[in-house]
Amino acid sequence: MKTISVITINLNTKTGLEKTIKSLICQELRDHIEYIVIDGLSEDGSAELIHDYRQHIDIIKIEQDKGIFDAMNKGIVLASGLYTYFLNAGDVFPSRDVLKRAIKIIDSQLKLQNIICGKVRLFDGGKFVAIANFPHYIPHQGAFVKTTLLKKYKFDDSFKIYGDLDLWTRMEKGGDYSVLTLDEVIADFGLGGIGNNPAHLYIQYKDRQKYFLKHKIYSKWLVSGLVFLILQSCYILLGKERYFVFKTQLTSFKRKVLGALNSFRQA
């Protein structure tokens, strides 16, 4: 059994896909890594690119899917490593030894944690924006998850954006949410997709509303409407680049306020 299964999903992102594949194949301890590429019938030459790199890819699956989380589930079904990690098209590792360090941490654990989570750097147009910092939310680009648990829970493929948040919530409800947090950058993630592009704030809002309703978090369901209006206004007034900085600062402020409130309640 390989230590880590790395899954890349792609749809019409040929240039980003090649960067991702190159980032993976130069990783140290490559013989401990299973690499799986899932493509949703791209029409931009991605399939030909995958064929060019086939000697570096353990499993290739090219077929139509219902969306990002359906494609990720296809990868989960095929994965056989102890842990599974998603490095999707356009994402890259910041150095050659990221997986080597992760493997050493896995090997050194007396009791394996279900999730090992590091940091994710956010970039917009190649320019560094911030370190992802979301309260109670692990971006999948920073998470190594036990493969057996991913096979047990899988993603709810009816989500467009918040399928990973839904997964963590279901794992927590099932008593399987244990996390080892690393003070290390695991991946560089390019902003601009539907899940983080402020041009798609309404789609993000609707998907988050779906999450709140599914898990009966009615208070946040109401508040999310106000947050949507604030973020939409900030995007219009500040522009895309300053919007990301503001959103990161707002999230950090929110975390501090919630922490202070919790401390006050416990006092």
> Are the CB atoms for 167 and 73 separated by under 8 Å?
no
End-to-end CA distance of the chain, in Å? Answer: 49
Structural domains of the chain sorted by starting position, each given as residue range(s) with its CATH number in brackets: 4-190 (3.90.550.10), 192-267 (no CATH)
| Residue 84: count of CB within 10 angstroms of its CB | 27
Q: Label residue 42 by pLDDT band (50, 70, 90).
A: very high
Give the residue from 81, 73, 212, 38 showing the smallest Cα distance to 152.
73
Mean pLDDT of 237-242: 62
Q: Which of 96, 192, 75, 188 is nearest to 139 (CA)?
A: 188
More confident residue, 78 or 131: 78
Task: Flag whether pLDDT at 51 surpasses 90.
Answer: yes
pLDDT for res 1: 87
User: What are the tokens at 191?
Assistant: 């902003």
Mean pLDDT of 141-146: 94
Q: What is the pLDDT of residues 12-25, one digit of tens each?
A: 999 999 999 999 99
Strands (E), 40-114: 59-62, 83-86
Position 217 scores a pLDDT of 82
Whether the CB-CB separation of 219 and 100 falls below 8 Å is answered with no
In tens, the pLDDT along 66-94 reads 999 999 999 999 999 999 999 999 999 99
| b/e sequence 119-130, b meaning 16+ C-beta within 10 Å | bbbbbbeeeebb
User: Mapping DSSP to helix (H, G, I), strand (E, B) and coil, where does residue 183 land?
Assistant: strand
Q: Say if residue 116's pLDDT is above 70.
A: yes
Q: Is the dihedral of CA 110, 133, 163, 1 positive or negative?
A: negative
Give the three-state DSSP class for 189: strand
User: Can you give the pLDDT at residue 15?
Assistant: 93
- Complete DSSP assignment for 137-155: ---GGGEEEEHHHHHHH--
96, 28 contact by CB (below 8 A): yes
pLDDT at position 170, please? Answer: 96
Taking the C-alpha atoms of residue 9 and residue 235, their distance in angstroms, rounded to an integer, is 29
Distance between alpha carbon 167 and the CA centroid of its chain, in Å?
11
Lowest model confidence (mean pLDDT) among 108-112, 129-133, 202-206, 244-248: 244-248
Band (pLDDT 50/70/90 cuts) for residue 225 is: low
Instruction: Read off the pLDDT of each residue in 102-130 and give the average, rounded to a whole number.
Output: 88
> Phi and psi for 206 in degrees, rounded to 5?
-65, -40
Q: Are 45 and 14 in contact (CB under 8 A)?
A: yes
Strands 59-62 and 33-39: parallel
